[in-house]
Amino acid sequence: MSQTNIRIEGRAGRITLTRPEALNALSYEMCMAVDQALNDWRNNDDVNLIIIDAEGPKAFCAGGDIAEMYHTGMAGDYDYGRKFWRDEYRMNAKLAEYPKPIVSLMHGFTMGGGVGLGGHVGARVVCESSQISMPECGIGFVPDVGGSFILAQAPGRLGEYLGLTAARMGPGDAIHADFADHFIPQEGWPALIQALTETGDLTPLEQAAQPAPDSPMAAQQSVIDGLFDGEGLQDILNTLRASDSDLAAKSLKTLMHNAPLSMAVTLEMIHRLRGPGLTIRKALEMEYRVSHRIMEHGDFLEGIRAQIIDRDRNPNWKHAHDSVPTVAVSQMLMPLGADKLGFEED
């Protein structure tokens, strides 16, 4: 059974994820189906815009389907995961750079790979059920699929906070952090989709958009900035321990469960990317340096084992939280040479 429903309706190309029983987790097959649709519609004059949505009440896309990566990686085969990430990242870049308008409708859980699918397009819509996050550090990975690109642009130190804690953003938070653009109550989505397919332009979306709900993270921005402005992981841990705020206590508890190397690398990525030269391709290329190495040299396989396979929630991380070697971070982010991520079609 197909995991995506790809078709043309009126003036719009439609991509609907049809795997609600798995919270629309993104498989390699789904990535390639989206990629092929983008190729097919690029020069198709019958398609004026593209709409990406998903079936089921709970999730737009709750992340990547990583079980197969775990099993192949445990068998010593790192090439499957590398190919998955390489092709997925190329698809992410294609979405971000596409010459036609793309609308993503991100209801419910939108995490990890779901952010890569819906978070880089030109018109990102959220509703009252939207919960967006980047939870990768909890499984021994780093924010990827271009997530580091958005985190590096978030206001103040919100990128560090979101990348390390995996805090969930409601619709107001997502718009404040620039993970989304428009708030439209979900009951209005069917009429919106019909209008978009009939007109082939974004005017109905602009007319339907409502003021963004309040953002708790915006209200706490100054506190977040003070807690997460450290140069490295040790600095942030020290600041959190020294603070008596509820946010600090909650954040510290989360960080002490996460993979230390992943958090240290995530901070370094965000700091390197922050600046005027930031592009989606630069972020994806840096993420792929980590992806290429993470199963062999990082905590990814152990994180998946503890959280998803055995579910004992007791990972044995490679490093202690207060003693992540600087050289280990540097080695994860070294250029890959001939294995560098390229964006040309194979």
Q: Which of 64, 18, 12, 59 minimizes the C-alpha distance to 37?
A: 12
What's the first-to-final CA gap in the chain, in angstroms? 27
Q: Which of 53, 136, 287, 299 is catalytic?
A: 136
Q: Which of 81, 113, 116, 119 is catalytic?
A: 113
SS3 187: helix
SS3 13: strand
Q: Is 68 a catalytic residue?
A: no
Using alpha carbons, list the distances in angstroms from residue 107 to 51, 127, 168: 14, 6, 13
- CB-count exposure of residue 151 (10 Å: 0-12, 13-18, 19+): buried
Q: Is 113 a catalytic residue?
A: yes
Q: Which of 3, 25, 106 minimizes the C-alpha distance to 69?
A: 25
Q: Which of 51, 52, 49, 39 minimizes the C-alpha distance to 100?
A: 49
Q: Is 181 a catalytic residue?
A: no
Q: Which of 13, 64, 81, 163 is catalytic?
A: 64
Would you mind telling me the total number of residues written for the chain in this entry? Answer: 346
Q: Is 136 a catalytic residue?
A: yes
Using alpha carbons, list the distances in angstroms from residue 59 to 8, 99, 239, 249, 326: 23, 27, 35, 29, 37
Tokens of 85: 């990430």
Q: Which of 65, 144, 160, 173 is catalytic?
A: 144
Catalytic residues: 64, 113, 136, 144
